[in-house]
A and B are shown apart, each in its own frame.
Chain A
């Protein structure tokens, strides 16, 4: 079975956050909630300065601290490595939010599901058809677009990325594009000192 993972090519990423918006439309995320976003940071002093764009996402860690911390078993890892949250088991205790070293989990507060994207509680037909997947008080995060992946498609953020900075594939397959890139360009995992063994790698 495949073990899904993602590589972020920092040379390609232009920080446009098309990924974040594609994710929002694919997953009907409430205002202010992100499953992925690209951060930017200025580095250096004028005139020797640049800005780095760093995409972030749930790293679907092989040794996921969120899963270990979850008291109800709501967070679990699928056989293909995708870390999921079962909203029927999640009690919203927030332990996983604290446990995640990558700040990738969000608890759905009542106003998030009530306000609507345009505010004032007005729900558009788009929101009405999508918001039902969420339960107030539960914790949500990126699922690598598991339904798309199960259907043989790419996660929405990967499919839309204008610069192809997100490379998705089977990390167990030595011929897969992400594996090759990790090898060729010395992929690094985020916060390796946390010993979480993320399935997300950065190359630059």
Chain B
């Protein structure tokens, strides 16, 4: 028998364990990190004391060590020596010292700010240090270049703010028995705390027989594990939801008590789309018993009407519910089938199953509080909501949950805050506020306060024109290409990126983006690894990675809450700094230290505990900021967090379930009508020349079945291209990590672009054929893989195939970035939410071979090293 003197397994070697948190996606599963006696990190596991991820980690979390030790990491500040810039062009970096780099950045930014602050475009995207997103506020600048937030959730986040005053939403796995997933991987492959959610959902599926129905164009992981996969034509998810709503309403499978008592569904809506109010601004409802109009809070009301047509204050009006019912008259499952291809009988059956599972009328006692129990919920995300009429899509999905009374009910569809400490924004605990006429105040702004309207526009992405939306960073391409039309009296020439890769995540023509970057006088990037965007930088400021820095975060945990500690497991491997230090140093050089500390106090919520306030003219370390955030959460100091790793507990039921009890939710979104009209007045008053072509129809108080304009592209673009991620590549850059490459490029789902075999046969295409995928806006090259798990109208492109060749040759590049198939214009942007369309109509053309420029290097078309 072999005699071992030293352990061979990494976790068993002599060393120490440290508590920390993962950052391989944007979320924060808790971890424990093993460091050898020689100071080498050799194992990362989930922290079993966390009730959220229960000691589990996804493949990305398991691969963090190789991000840490990636030889491609930026090791010192770098200055570009090659004046030529372009995709794949070597910047010929020259190492420089920190003082020189920061002085250079400070000087260049100061020059820009002195000329015109609007010329600086920030793209700051670290989700675990959300306070950095507020740095541009110190400059009075909201000219954001990026597509984070609006690409996946342009309509999603504001709608969660409208309905729950929260940033995200989840199905309540604690009690749910019937789980619909539409275009979102929650519980299986993506979105909120994937490993944690997969853990809890698997238990619900297997131990409680929770039924899962997945509605998607592609057989995703969730669809593969579901009791039922419902294939759907891309970009028709809203119509499917409206078909469900039609059945729920037509067959009276709805929670009338909830709608009457807890929502504005009975409020009377006039012909102008506004509620009918008396002279004092108070809203009317109709008393169905006394057959008369009464104010909504009149104690004499016997029974409010949900249906009917009335005349009040001389105006014809209907309850909001009736307005929705009128819309649903055109949304029968049979009518919707012509768009969705989902058989009407399937939609009807699912609607009935859903309503039955919702147990309308049932209650449950939790912590001494009697709550409605609604164990059926409709979840959705990027794939379902990433369309032109995104606000309407999100509202339609919400309304399915409304109809069964499932909003924020145990087992139902519940709001998820982004970071509870940020009281005033981002879904913090201070967000549940009473609004007018008994309704909860809507909170569509989850990422930053409203950006004021300006003409000429102060923001190239026109954020001031999206009073209830998320930053449509992609529109910068459109406005700069038509600068005169959009009244731009300046041209941005400086770009500051922090953990951001806009060239990867923005839709639109690549050449135009390249031209935009070429036109920049100065680009600085705070980052860890080279990518498509920071390759264009003039200066790189290298930051610590997740194993070298301090942080405290809770970011969108679906069922849990509490701060998670990040602490350094080793000293920095290289000459890097924390983001905190970098932004302090830049702020100081710009004379903004005091302003920045003031902003940090506000966005971190330190103003709630004066002893935590940052002094105006001091610079604080990542450790000091982290300690304050921990103290704010539970009063514990950093030593406590170092010992425990986290303060994660299940969500407190009083905050989690119906925290708005006593207020009414917005079934009908009058605020959208008001936002439209206010914006229109501002555009009229400013004589904005493009106001007549603004997409005013996008602002709807209730969703309709109007098809998204992607369906109206020329007929010869006969297929729909979608892109997808799975758990191995969920959120952010993973390709290039050898362990991720080792599993992803062995998976047939990620090695070729997926096409239904019947569709392929009709086009004389076969497995392995090389094709050009062409949309009206751009094209990419792909290898075809046949899959029965694909809707016949769909072309499915894994996100693993969409990287572009850079100096970081470990990142295998595909046949072009999927996003260049997508338009970056107003027509395909939801004027209400800022969401761009994420589906492209395409046609396929067979090629003789992979074009040489694409096949070169470490391409996904080559065999790849040892893969």
Contact = CB atoms under 8 A, between A and B. Distances in A.
Interface string B220-247: 0101110001010000000000000000
B199 A129 contact: no
Contact of B69 (A34, A112, A126): A126
A199 interface: no
Interface string A78-111: 0000001011100000000000000000000000
Contact of B56 (A9, A25, A53, A161): A161
Contacts of A44: 788
Q: In which size bucket is the chain B interface? A: 35 or more
Nearest to A43: B788
Interface in A140-185: 145-148, 151, 153, 156, 159-165
B63 interface: yes
B10 A130 contact: yes
B58 interface: yes
A31 B865 contact: yes
A4 B728 CA distance: 29
A14 B202 CA distance: 9
B1 interface: yes
A163 B40 contact: no
Given A25-B44, A51-B219, A129-B38, A46 B790 contact: yes
B756 interface: yes
A25 B43 contact: yes
Contact of A49 (B9, B63, B65, B788): B788
A16 B38 CA distance: 32
A27 B758 contact: no
B366 interface: no
Given A49-B789, A86-B1, A40 B747 contact: yes
Contacts of A156: 9, 11, 43, 45
Given A16-B727, A31-B866, A118-B71, A26 B9 contact: yes
A53 B12 contact: no
Contacts of A31: 738, 742, 865-867
Contact of A145 (B9, B55, B792, B866): B9
Interface string A7-37: 0010110111110111011111001101001
B36 interface: yes
A96 B137 CA distance: 65
A17 B58 CA distance: 8
A25 B10 contact: yes
Given A14-B202, A160-B46, A46 B788 contact: yes
Contacts, number: 202
A51 B747 CA distance: 12
A47 to B, nearest CB: 5
A124 interface: yes
Given A24-B739, A44-B788, A151 B12 contact: yes
Contacts of A53: 224
A165 B746 CA distance: 21
A27 B727 contact: no
B431 interface: no
Contacts of A25: 10, 42-44, 62-63, 65, 739
Contacts of A124: 66, 69, 71
Contact of B40 (A9, A118, A126): A126
Contact of A27 (B9, B41, B46, B58): B9
Nearest to B727: A16
Given A25-B10, A26-B9, A49-B789, A14 B727 contact: yes
A45 B792 CA distance: 12
B7 interface: yes
Given A49-B219, A49-B788, A156-B11, A86 B188 contact: no
Contact of A46 (B61, B188, B224, B758): B758
Interface in B312-351: none
Nearest to A88: B2
B787 interface: yes
Contacts of B788: 42, 44-46, 49
A177 to B, nearest CB: 13
B195 interface: yes
B810 A21 contact: no
Nearest to B746: A37
Interface in B600-656: none
A45 B788 CA distance: 5
A136 interface: no
A50 B222 CA distance: 10
B865 A148 contact: no
Contacts of A162: 53, 56-58, 194-196, 198-199, 202, 727
Interface in B741-757: 742-743, 746-749, 756-757
Contact of A14 (B45, B188, B758): B188
B71 A129 contact: no
Interface string B478-491: 00000000000000
Contact of B202 (A52, A84, A165): A165
A34 B59 CA distance: 14
A51 B749 CA distance: 11
Contacts of B790: 46
B330 to A, nearest CB: 26
A72 to B, nearest CB: 13
B12 A163 contact: no
A186 to B, nearest CB: 15
Q: Which of B57, B63, B225, B791 has its CB near the most chain A CB atoms (within 10 A)?
A: B225
A53 to B, nearest CB: 7
Nearest to A53: B224
B594 interface: no
Give the top 5 A-B pairs by smallest Cβ distance, nearest first.
A163-B202, A124-B69, A133-B8, A51-B224, A21-B62
Interface of A: 9, 11-12, 14-18, 20-22, 24-28, 31-32, 34, 37, 40, 42, 44-47, 49-53, 76, 84, 86-88, 112, 115, 117-119, 122, 124-126, 128-130, 133, 145-148, 151, 153, 156, 159-165
17 contacts: A12-B205, A14-B188, A14-B727, A18-B61, A25-B42, A31-B738, A34-B742, A49-B219, A49-B788, A50-B229, A88-B2, A117-B739, A125-B40, A148-B12, A160-B46, A161-B56, A162-B56
Given A18-B57, A126-B65, 19 more contacts: A16-B58, A16-B198, A17-B743, A18-B56, A18-B727, A25-B42, A25-B62, A26-B9, A31-B738, A37-B746, A46-B790, A112-B866, A117-B66, A117-B739, A153-B11, A160-B46, A162-B727, A163-B198, A163-B199
